[in-house]
Amino acid sequence: MQKQYGDYVRTGPRELTIFDPGALQALLGPQSKTTKGPFYDILDKSLNLNRDRVWHRQRRNVWDNAYKKSLPYATPQIEDVCDRLLDRLRKVAGKPLLLLEIMTYFSYDVMCALAFGKPPGYTAGESSADAEHILNTLTQGISAMGIMYHMPWLMNALAVLTSLAGPMKDWTDWSVSQVKARMAIKNGPVDLMGELIKNTSDDDAGHALLYGDSRLIISAGSETTSSALTFVFMHLALYPHYMRAIREEHRANLSDYHCSTPLPLLDAVINESMRLWPSIFFATPRVTPPEGLTINGHFIPGDMIVQIPPFSLTRDARSFVRPDDFIPERWTTKPELILNRSAFFPFLIGPYSCVGKTLAYMELRSVIRRVINEFDVILPEGFVAEEYWDGVKDHFTAGPPKQEVSFVPAGVF
């Protein structure tokens, strides 16, 4: 579409899709005058699903403080779930398993542990039938959003129609029960939900907000991490010299290991994978101010819905040399391959940037370092990379195809 129509394309009666890297700050940056689009009116109110800028700023302060207080206590929970992941991989070493599935189990266990104090046991294969049902409901629901986020009115209608019974009600009821159970724990462990509970009004409105925030924690923190991990491991399997180099880097820094500690090559591989395959394909729609906006000589009238697709910006040759190639060195020894670093924004920018960025990097570093320390990731014979990448779906978050890989003890191949 960009090649045919240019950087500014009208994609609806009052909708404009923008591919110009120079528009990023005007639409999403700290000084942007835009507001969130109608999509954010859907479903129950949470930190993310709200269009009031003043309200969001106040609630974001609560979240930032909750994360600041709870983050130091997140490391043991991340490492505990990672222990369970390694135990499972050791039991099936050399046997094919679905990469996306196991990474989904890990990410949901971590976020449930951080939100509610205990992982459901997906990674270890110990989850209950109810927990499995909730996980399937959530992953299928996020896939459906890929179609419906273009029609927010439809999502609101479906929310009403499914409030009596069905998957959405099951997911809502489950999250409510988890929050109520956490609220009943007095003087419990320091965790994210506990800190949010302390700083939210103890009334119906406050409880409803906590229910919405709990669903945000689980869905936003899990789907994005599972897809990011899947894409990193796929790249390492395709480029095994990076896998071996990460193993060497990890072992050279083992004495002061901590999942919050960045390592040059590891972080470069993570960033390059997220550049090529951002976890969020969603174009974050915004509404222009009444007076309109002028961006690089283009005037956009007021009250227009404008959106800027991350996938297109991070593969734009104006920002990255050889934009479609996997080159982690662009983040380390070859900085000349980055022409516009601001075009890399996997966690968004500005007032609506992802509050969980630090946590996400902690999870990614922990899993990748510890798994690659023990295992090589091997693709099956006949694997065709082009077919795999062509199969990635845009359903709000990035949707990696189901692909079997084998985790083989390091050095066997």
Q: Which residues sit in the known binding site?
A: 354
Q: At residue 66, what is the residue type?
A: A
Strand partners, 16: 10, 306
- Pairs from 188-192 (Cβ < 8 Å, separation ≥ 24): 188/117, 189/73, 189/117, 190/69, 190/70, 190/73, 191/70, 191/73, 191/74, 191/114, 191/115, 191/116, 191/117, 192/66, 192/67, 192/70, 192/74, 192/114, 192/115, 192/217
State the greatest distance between any 2 C-alpha atoms of the chain, in Å, as a whole number.
Answer: 64
Contact 82, 370 (CB under 8 A): yes
Type of residue found at 89: L
Angle between helices 264-276 and 204-238 (to 10 degrees): 100
Contact of 288 with 15, CB cutoff 8 Å:
no
Would you tell me how many other CB atoms lie within 10 Å of the CB of residue 87?
Answer: 12
Give residues with Cβ within 8 angstroms of 329, minimum separation 6. Answer: 268, 337
Output the 3-class SS for 110-168: HHHHHHHCCCCCCCCCCCCHHHHHHHHHHHHHHHHHHHHCCCHHHHHHHHHHCCCCCHH
- In whole angstroms, give the CA distance from residue 146 to residue 279: 13
Q: Are strands 15-18 and 305-307 parallel, antiparallel or unpaired?
A: parallel
Cα separation, 154 vs 232, whole angstroms: 34
**How far, in Å, CA of 74 to CA of 51, rounded?**
30
Per-position DSSP letters for 78-95, written without gaps between them: HHHHHHHHHHHHHHTTTS
Task: Give the whole-angstrom CA distance, residue 238 versus residue 231.
Answer: 11
Place of tokens 């002028």: 294
**Which residues are annotated binding-site positions for heme?**
354
Relative orientation angle of helices 264-276 and 357-374, to the nearest 10 degrees? 110
